[in-house]
Amino acid sequence: MKQEQKAIIEKIQAYGTIIIHRHQSPDPDALGSQVGLAKIIQATYPQKKVYVVGEASEGLTWMAQMDTVATEQYTGALVIVTDTANTPRVSDDRYTKGADLIKIDHHPNDEPYGDPMWVEPAASSSSELIYDLAVAGKMTVPAAAARLLYTGIVGDTGRFMYSATTPHTFEVAAALIKHDFDFTLVNQNLDTMSAEQAHLSAYVLENLIILPSGAAHITLSQELLKRLGLSVAQTSSIVSLPGKIAAVSAWVIFVEQVPENYRVHFRSKGPIINELAKAHHGGGHPLASGARAQGEAETKEIVTALDQIVSHQ
């Protein structure tokens, strides 16, 4: 057992109330690690009160639902934040109101917080780490938790396509699907899109701008999303799509949230892009990151920088 795992398990054992957070705009790994951990703790220590909090997860309600937690319930509670590299991205800023704070994450540790803190950037996902924690602590992994952790792993590895996938990742996935849940249905849910999202996919493939370097970019305006009947959250289904094009090495997708304010998605097949994301109020993995941009001038600056990164790979 690693020292960090031991310290986390001791904290979990010591507290009667545990509240678990994750990052804003959650993906499958954020929800999988957050709610999977909650169900593991509940199954192992039935006497404890365990809650999960955060904003609604549009498009992933089939995975899990959040709890309603009053602020006074944080008094004397243990707070755990999973899959969240830096504190501005924590969903629900009440995470500071507990008696103790723990960070469990697999992103680069650009902002250390929490004590204890367990960060493994080489891990495929935070869901993989939660399974390892359960095994180290000899905790019970019920089928509901196995389903959530498997979903998180599949989501963050791109169905085991990304380089962070290791032999251990497959070992964990194999152990999880031994539990009683329909992993085929999980895969189908992750791979399903609405007719509106299919129309957006067609738009992206037709309008993606591919530069000679192999850098690519596209902007999804509010007007476009309104015309297609899509929310900003629903655009997540197309973030990886440009990677299917052989000529594309790295790409950036700008999604307009409010006029001239963009959510920025970076993805790459090889060139390192997370430092560029950090320069624009974001961060993440070397090949998958997010950021924010204000105005057309900043989006052009990002495209130029990405082009230079890919050109010098």
pLDDT in tens, 80-106: 999 999 999 999 999 999 999 999 999
For residues 97 and 184, state if they share a domain: yes
CATH number at residue 91: 3.90.1640.10
For residues 165 and 246, state if they share a domain: no
Residue identified by tokens 């309104």 is 226
CATH number at residue 288: 3.10.310.30
Last residue of a domain, one of 190, 206, 233: 190
For residues 205 and 152, state if they share a domain: no
Rounded distance between C-alpha atoms, residue 311 and residue 42, angstroms: 51
For residues 186 and 211, state if they share a domain: no
The answer to whether the CB of 18 falls within 8 A of the CB of 48 is yes
Last residue of a domain, one of 190, 225, 245: 190
Question: Mind spelling out the 3-state secondary structure of 49-72?
Answer: EEEECCCCCCCCCCCCCCCCCCHH
Beta strand 209-210 with 215-220: parallel, antiparallel or unpaired?
antiparallel
**Residue-wise pLDDT tens digits, 141-153:** 999 999 999 999 9
Taking CA atoms, 234 is separated from 198, 203, 220, 228, in Å, by: 11, 14, 12, 11
For residues 273 and 172, state if they share a domain: no
Domain count, the chain: 2
Last residue of a domain, one of 190, 225, 242: 190
pTM: 0.91
For residues 211 and 135, state if they share a domain: no
What pLDDT is recorded for position 276?
A: 97
User: What residue ranges of the chain have pLDDT lower than 70?
Assistant: none
Rounded distance between C-alpha atoms, residue 105 and residue 30, angstroms: 10
For residues 33 and 147, state if they share a domain: yes
What pLDDT is recorded for position 25?
A: 87
Core vs surface per residue 184-208: b (16+ CB within 10 A) or e? eebeebbeeeeebbeebeebbeeeb
What pLDDT is recorded for position 57?
A: 83
Structural domain that includes position 245 = 197-311
Amino acid symbol at 116: P
For residues 180 and 202, state if they share a domain: no
For residues 31 and 180, state if they share a domain: yes
For residues 141 and 230, state if they share a domain: no
Amino acid symbol at 163: S
For residues 225 and 259, state if they share a domain: yes
**Residue-wise pLDDT tens digits, 70-87:** 999 999 999 999 999 999
Rounded distance between C-alpha atoms, residue 258 and residue 246, angstroms: 32
For residues 176 and 72, state if they share a domain: yes
